[in-house]
């Protein structure tokens, strides 16, 4: 059982890191799209109607989907002053509380985002702009996916906490 | 339950969660969800949070942040940053604190090419902070400079804060930009004077770069300008595309990111591994920033809907004090709200209430806009909810804890407050430049 | 008769500092209380202050807001009929004509159908209509229809972009926060913004000194909706009062904004910094012809959009804007 959990956690780490690193390519594409728009508009006098929306969408995807990677590396920003005050043993329990609160909040956020996402999918919300893409629908669904990734990675981190294998990764934020 | 009690409960629960070490994005999110569900019930509560969270992904201004982070990562990894600061240290010669002063100057130039704070702070945090530490500068002083000077991005035009203020208060953005330039330079000067005083009093804070070149006479040191040339060309190019009308401020940041790759290539330092690592680091940084913002914005609508605005309006109208004190109270309110709300939220809540009062009192709304932007800078730095500190934390070397950043920025908050008071009591500092237009 | 006043929190798409917000707050909000003998009060909340502008229908349905007072263009991505109902680019000549369409020409019923496409009948459309014709700030002189050719015009909305494109211009979709800088630096030649009075206040004419006024393109229509349950809880007298109040306020605001716009435009035209450009009727007619083809294209996007266009065209013929 213990081994199974450990293996699942390790698998989730792998998934998060893979998605996170793939996201970095999207950010690069976002830079490319924005720079291209400058060339198209200034160089060729042919502004595109899609660059703003595409750049936003690429960036948003990278922002949201990198959450597993950020969580796996413990890079969420937090105040860790209490660690010095309470000592390592109590702090270890604080770490668990932090992860449980995060899991609770993200779970409720996911519930909150669920209905709007389903509704957007059913009606296929478009942006209503000149490009009129399905960006709004996509972003609503994307947020739900982000929450799921966040939750799964939190589960992996909690597993490591329980099995006391989290020390090797460190908790520096 | 009265709005006063709710406000208090919100602040207390935020502080408690923060103190427990809960990630800040989760902290604000938890409090938003809690308040929304308790106050509106499940359906409406869920909706208000989901709608505001979703809107973050439509905020176009935010996409400049990854551009800046990537640009800075490339400059840092390629060694451009190192030779830039070596050159700066050599050029500064045996003048104590020269690199810190030059960093302030660089920050002012960067502020002229960025409209938002996050971008500039991560950029300085990635490039300047490790270099200043390497050159032996005092940690707290270096951190303070980065946050203080980096925050100038929203005071020195272009500035998204001033644009949003202009739209909310219906004030001329041209005049706001003109009015904010001098106060921006004033703040930068205050920072520089402070640095010079501190390093004079305690020379250990700013060691002289101990290599023989710094002892050379100035004309011989000038050949070390070459480390500055490439970054200088890059900055000039970005400023050029902004001010010549080729690209918008956000697009210019993307051009800069491409430019950084070009500069690295010119120096023969562009490799796939370097570019890939720079991208991965960028993904981690912006990933941690976005979840911070997601949580913070969801409090906006909730606080407004439960009557936060009305509460402030009644508080202001019940005051029977001198006009200038009313302005001071407004500034104080912005600071207090800044402990738990995002700046756009603060503008949405306060400007509609404040602007008419300011005009009724006979003050110039342009001047108030500048005060407002200066105040937003203080909010940006001040603990516990100081986004500037969070942004820096997201890129700073691992051993720098958030609490150290909080302590480091305190003197700079005092300097910002000094600047604010100067503009408060001497409105001409802001108003003489736009006055030339009329 | 100790019942407390029903306070309705309504989000608008006006910015906090807009002339319209101040005018409504000072002049018209007190009147609704009078008209209902103190039974109904309205609190206006500025654009985006509670929920993002395009989410107001669902917010009203969920009860987060009691109602909205919003430009319906925001919902055009969710149901194309809102683009037709929201701003029939170059369609009507005056806001009064379009208010007439809403009040007497079947506009309200059409708007209700569109609203029902977004929510499960939880939103009641009380009234609809525009209050101003937007001016078009430009940094270069666009004096005729032909001058549109090759101009870069910021126009994020689908229908407006299509019309400008068909007229030979290049639509650019930069976000609103970049409009000021883009006009200043010449990234765009003209930008869809707001009424003359608002553009004047934000200083757009400093950087775009050739405003087209009266505007050539846009007359955004707003809707006034109330949560269905709230609406049903009001007495018939109060329901009628709310509807009358809204139309009176919109008509009065139309007059007020038009007066302000005209005063400011006359002032600017007399000075030498700004040249106010007023298109000849012949040029306006050319643009309307081009626009009409785009309306028809756009109407193909959904049955409801087609119905919205047909209802509009029928009314326009009735009042003599079209002959055929
Ligand atoms: Na700036
Ligand atoms: Na703060």
Q: What is the pLDDT of residues A119-155, one digit of tens each?
A: 888 888 888 777 778 888 999 999 999 999 999 999 9
The helix (H) or strand (E) run that includes residue C182 is helix C179-185
Residues 6+ apart with CB under 8 A from B379: B334, B335, B337, B338, B343, B346, B386
Give A173's pLDDT tier (boundaries 50, 70, 90). very low
* Residues in chain C closer than 8 A to B309 (CB atoms): 45, 49
d(CA B213, CA A155): 55
Beta carbons of A125 and C77 less than 8 Å apart: yes
Residue of C nearest to A47 (CA): C172
Residue of A75, B280, B188, B139 lying closest to B131 (CA atoms): B139
Partner residue facing C78 (CB), from A46, A49, A125: A125
Residues 6+ apart with CB under 8 A from B385: B14, B24, B296, B338, B339, B340, B341
Longest Cα–Cα distance of chain B, Å, equals: 73
Ligand lying closest to the C-alpha of residue B338:
2
Q: Are B34 and B9 in contact, with CB atoms under 8 Å apart?
A: no
Give the closest ligand to the alpha carbon of residue B337. Answer: 2
Cβ contact, residue pair A112, B26, below 8 Å = no
Q: Kindly tell me if the per-residue pLDDT of A170 is higher than 50.
A: no
Is the pLDDT at A168 greater than 70? The verdict is: no
Ligand 1 centroid–CA B180 distance in Å is 10
Residues in B closer than 8 angstroms to A16, CB to CB, are none
Chains that touch A (3 or more CB pairs under 8 A): B, C
Both structure tokens of B21: 């070490």
Pairing of strands C170-172, C40-45: unpaired
Find the helix packing angle between B160-169 and B173-201, rounded to 10°. 140
Q: How far apart are CA C194 and CA C208, in angstroms?
A: 13
Q: Which of A46, A4, A166 is nearest to A99 (CA)?
A: A166
Taking CA–CA distances from A124, the nearest residue in chain C reads: C78
Give me ligand 2 centre to Cα B148, in Å: 13
Does the distance separating the beta carbons of A30 and B251 come in below 8 Å? no
B158–C49 C-beta distance less than 8 A: no
Torsion sign over Cα B294, B296, B297, B301: positive
Q: What is the 3-state secondary structure (H, E, C) of chain B?
A: CCHHHHHHHHHHHHHHHHHCCCCHHHHHHHHHHHHHHHHHCHHHHHHHHHHHHHHHCCCHHHHHHHHHHHHHHHHHHCCHHHHHHHHHHHHHCCCCCHHHHHHHHHHHHHHCCCCCHHHHHHHHHHHHHHHHHHCCCCHHHHHHHHHHHHHHHHCCCCCHHHHHHHHHHCCCHHHHHHHHHHHHHHHHHHHHHHHHHHHHHCHHHCCCCCCHHHHCCHHHHHHHHHHHHHHHHHHHHHHHHHHCCCCCHHHHHHHHHHHHHHHHHHCCCCCHHHHHHHHHHHHHHHHHHHHHHHHHHHHHHHHHHCCHHHHHHHHHHCCCCCHHHHHHHHHHHHHHHCCCCCHHHHHHHHHHHHHHHHHHCCCCHHHHHHHHHHHHHHHHHCCCCCHHHHHHHHHCCCCCCHHHHHHHHHHHHHHHHHHHHHHHHCCHHHHHHHHCCC
Residue C125: both structure tokens together: 């459309």
- Which chain C positions have a beta carbon within 8 Å of A52's beta carbon? 173-175
Tell me whether residues C52 and B160 touch, CB distance under 8 A: no
3-state secondary structure of C13: coil
Residue B369 C-alpha, separation from nearest chain A C-alpha, in angstroms: 29
Q: How far is B53 from chain C (nearest CA, A)?
A: 10
The three-class DSSP label of residue C237 is helix
| CB B50, CB A116: distance < 8 Å | yes
pLDDT band at A2 (very low <50, low <70, confident <90, very high): confident
User: How far apart are the C-alpha atoms of B90 and B211, rounded to whole Å?
Assistant: 8
- Candidates C17, C46, C47, C53: best to mutate against B (most CBs of B within 10 A) is C17
- Contact list, B44 vs chain C (CB under 8 Å): 62-64
Report chain A residues whose CB lies below 8 A from the CB of C162.
130
Task: Give the phi and the psi of residue C126 in degrees, each rounded to 5.
Answer: -85, -40
State the average pLDDT for chain A. Answer: 86
pLDDT tens-digit readout, C126-154: 999 998 888 999 999 999 999 999 899 99
B144, B402 contact by CB (below 8 A): no
Nearest to C177 among B160, B245, B355 (CB): B160
Phi, psi of A78, rounded to the nearest 5 degrees? -150, 160
Return the C-alpha torsion angle C95, C99, C101, C104, nearest 10.
-150
Contact criterion met (CB < 8 Å) for C17 and B170? yes
The rounded Å distance from CA C266 to ligand 2 centre is 46
Three state DSSP letters for C79-105: CCHHHHHHCCCCCCCCHHHHHHHHHHC
pLDDT, residue A138, reads 92
CA distance B129 to B126: 6
Tell me which residues of chain C have a pLDDT lower than 50.
1-2
Residues of C in contact with A116 (CB under 8 A): 58
Say yes or no for a CB contact (<8 Å) between C150 and A41: no
Nearest beta carbon to residue B47 from set C21, C58, C186 = C58
CA distance B59 to chain C (A): 9
pTM of the model: 0.82
CA distance linking residue C202 with residue B175, whole number of Å: 9
Residue of chain A whose alpha carbon sits nearest to that of C186? A42
CB-based contact, C271 to chain B, within 8 Å? no
The domain limits of chain B are 1-58+295-304, 59-270+307-435
The conformation of residue A18, written as its DSSP 8-state character, comes to H
Measured between alpha carbons, how far is residue B195 from residues B98, B104, B139 in Å?
A: 9, 10, 13
* Residues in CB range of A17: below 8 A, 6 or more apart: A68, A69, A72
Interface test with C, best of A37, A129, A143 (most C CBs within 10 A): A129
- C-alpha B33/C-alpha B56 separation (Å) is 16
- Starting from the edge strand earliest in sequence, which strands make up the sheet with C123-129, in order? C40-45, C6-12, C67-71, C222-227, C123-129
CA-to-CA separations, B125 to B73, B90, B390, in angstroms, rounded: 10, 21, 11
- DSSP 3-state assignment of C1? coil
- Which of C21, C178, C186 lies at the smallest CB-CB distance from B249? C178
Q: CA-CA distance, A24 to B425, in Å (whole number)?
A: 48
Task: Pick B47's closest partner by Cβ from C59, C185, C198.
Answer: C59
Work out the angle between the directed axes of helices C281-299 and C158-166 (0-180°, nearest 10).
130
**What is the distance in angstroms between the Cα of C194 and the nearest Cα belonging to chain B?**
11
Q: Do B48 and C59 touch (CB under 8 A)?
A: yes
What is d(CA B282, CA B288) in angstroms, rounded to the nearest whole number? Answer: 10
Residues in chain B within 8 Å Cβ distance of C177 = 60-61, 160, 163-164
B276 Cα to chain A: minimum distance (Å): 8
With a cut of 60, say whether residue A169 has pLDDT above it.
Answer: no
pLDDT, residue B224, reads 67
Is A46 in Cβ contact with C161 (below 8 Å)? Answer: no
Per-residue pLDDT for chain B (438 aa), expressed as one digit of tens each? 677 788 888 888 888 888 888 888 898 899 989 988 988 888 888 999 999 888 888 877 677 778 878 887 887 777 777 777 777 777 776 777 888 888 888 888 878 766 666 777 888 888 888 888 888 889 899 999 999 998 888 888 777 778 777 766 777 777 888 888 899 999 999 999 999 998 888 887 777 766 666 666 767 666 666 777 777 787 788 777 777 777 777 788 888 888 888 888 887 888 888 888 888 888 888 888 788 777 767 776 788 788 777 777 777 777 778 888 888 888 888 877 776 666 666 776 677 677 777 877 778 888 989 998 898 888 888 877 788 888 888 888 888 888 889 999 999 999 999 999 899 889 888 888 877 766
The two three-digit tokens of residue B51, written as one number: 């709608």
CA of C221 to the centre of ligand 1 (A): 36
CB-closest option in B21, B66, B398 to A98: B21
């Amino acid at each position: 059982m213990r081994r199974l959990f450990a293996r699942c956690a390790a698998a989730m780490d792998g998934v998060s890191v893979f998605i996170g690193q793939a996201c970095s390519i999207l950010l690069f594409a976002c830079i490319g799209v924005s720079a291209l728009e400058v060339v198209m508009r200034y160089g060729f006098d042919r502004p595109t109607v899609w660059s703003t929306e595409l750049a936003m969408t690429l960036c948003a995807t990278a922002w949201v989907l990198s959450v597993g990677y950020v969580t796996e590396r413990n890079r969420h920003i937090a105040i860790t002053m209490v660690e010095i005050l309470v000592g390592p043993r109590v702090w270890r329990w604080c770490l668990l509380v932090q992860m449980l609160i995060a899991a609770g909040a993200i779970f409720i956020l996911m519930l909150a985002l669920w209905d709007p996402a389903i509704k957007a999918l059913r009606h296929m919300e478009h942006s209503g702009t000149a490009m009129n893409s399905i960006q709004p629908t996509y972003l609503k669904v994307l947020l739900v996916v982000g929450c799921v990734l966040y939750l799964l990675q939190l589960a992996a981190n909690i597993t490591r906490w329980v099995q006391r294998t989290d020390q090797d990764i460190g908790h520096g934020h | 339950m009265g709005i006063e009690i709710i406000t208090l409960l919100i602040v207390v629960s935020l502080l408690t969660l923060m103190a427990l070490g809960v990630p800040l994005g989760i902290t604000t999110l938890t409090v938003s969800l809690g308040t929304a569900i308790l106050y509106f019930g499940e359906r409406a509560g869920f909706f208000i949070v989901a709608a505001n969270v979703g809107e973050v992904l439509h905020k176009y201004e935010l996409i400049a942040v990854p551009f800046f982070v990537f640009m800075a990562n490339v400059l840092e990894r390629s060694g451009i940053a190192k030779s830039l600061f070596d050159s700066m240290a050599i050029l500064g010669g045996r003048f104590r604190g020269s690199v810190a002063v030059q960093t302030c100057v660089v920050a002012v130039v960067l502020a002229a090419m960025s409209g938002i704070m996050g971008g500039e702070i991560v950029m300085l945090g990635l490039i300047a902070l490790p270099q200043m530490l390497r050159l032996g500068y005092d940690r707290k002083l270096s951190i303070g400079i980065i946050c203080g000077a980096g925050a100038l991005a929203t005071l020195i035009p272009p500035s998204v804060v001033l644009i949003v203020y202009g739209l909310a208060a219906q004030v001329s953005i041209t005049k706001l930009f003109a009015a904010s330039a001098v106060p921006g330079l004033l703040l930068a000067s205050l920072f520089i004077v402070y640095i010079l005083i501190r390093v004079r009093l305690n020379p250990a804070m700013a060691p002289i770069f101990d290599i023989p070149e710094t002892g050379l006479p100035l004309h011989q040191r000038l050949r070390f300008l070459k480390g500055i040339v490439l970054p200088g060309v890059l900055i000039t190019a970005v400023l050029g595309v902004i001010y010549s009308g080729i690209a918008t401020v956000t697009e210019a940041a993307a051009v800069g990111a491409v430019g950084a790759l070009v500069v690295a290539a010119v120096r023969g330092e562009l490799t796939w591994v370097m570019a890939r690592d720079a991208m991965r680091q960028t993904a981690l940084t912006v990933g941690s920033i976005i979840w911070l913002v997601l949580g913070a914005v969801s409090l906006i609508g909730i606080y407004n809907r439960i009557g936060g605005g009305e509460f402030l309006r009644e508080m202001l109208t019940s005051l029977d004090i001198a006009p200038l004190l009313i302005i001071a109270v407004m500034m104080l309110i912005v600071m207090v709200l800044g402990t738990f709300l995002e700046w756009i939220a603060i503008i949405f809540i306060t400007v509609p209430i404040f602007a008419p009062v300011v005009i009724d009192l006979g003050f110039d709304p342009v001047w108030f806009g500048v005060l407002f932007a200066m105040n937003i800078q203080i909010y940006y730095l001040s603990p516990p909810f100081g986004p500037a500190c969070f942004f820096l934390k997201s890129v700073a070397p691992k051993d720098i804890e958030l609490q150290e950043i909080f302590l480091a920025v305190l003197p700079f908050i005092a300097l910002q407050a000094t600047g604010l008071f100067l503009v408060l009591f001497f409105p001409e500092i802001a108003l003489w430049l736009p006055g030339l237009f009329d | 008769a100790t019942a407390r006043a029903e306070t309705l929190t309504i989000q608008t798409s006006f910015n906090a500092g807009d002339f319209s917000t101040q005018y409504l707050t000072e002049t018209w909000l007190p009147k609704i209380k009078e008209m209902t003998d103190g039974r109904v009060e309205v609190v206006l909340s500025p654009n985006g202050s509670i929920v993002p502008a395009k989410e107001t229908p669902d917010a009203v349905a969920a009860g987060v807001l009691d109602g909205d007072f919003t430009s319906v263009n925001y919902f055009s991505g969710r149901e194309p009929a809102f683009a037709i109902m929201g701003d029939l680019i170059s369609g009507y000549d005056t806001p009064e004509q379009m208010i007439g369409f809403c009040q007497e020409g079947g506009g309200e019923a059409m708007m209700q159908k569109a609203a029902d496409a977004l929510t499960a009948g939880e939103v009641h459309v009380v009234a609809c209509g525009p209050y101003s014709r937007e001016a078009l700030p430009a940094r270069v002189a666009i004096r005729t229809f032909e001058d549109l050719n090759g101009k870069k015009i910021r126009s994020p909305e689908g229908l407006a972009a299509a019309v400008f494109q068909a007229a030979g211009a290049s639509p650019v979709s930069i976000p609103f926060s970049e409009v000021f800088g883009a006009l200043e630096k010449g990234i765009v030649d003209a930008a869809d913004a707001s009424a003359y009075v608002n553009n004047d206040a934000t200083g757009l004419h400093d950087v775009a000194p050739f405003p087209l006024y009266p505007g050539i393109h846009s007359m955004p229509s707003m809707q006034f909706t109330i949560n269905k349950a709230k609406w049903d809880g009001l007495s018939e007298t109060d329901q009628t009062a709310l509807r009358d109040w809204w139309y009176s306020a919109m008509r009065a605001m139309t007059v007020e904004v038009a007066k302000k716009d005209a005063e400011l435009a006359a002032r600017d035209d007399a000075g030498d910094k700004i040249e106010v450009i007023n298109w000849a009727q012949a040029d306006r007619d050319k643009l309307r012809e081009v626009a009409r083809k785009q309306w028809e294209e756009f109407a193909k996007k959904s049955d409801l959009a087609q119905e919205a266009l047909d209802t509009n065209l029928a009314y326009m013929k009735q009042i003599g804007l079209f002959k055929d």
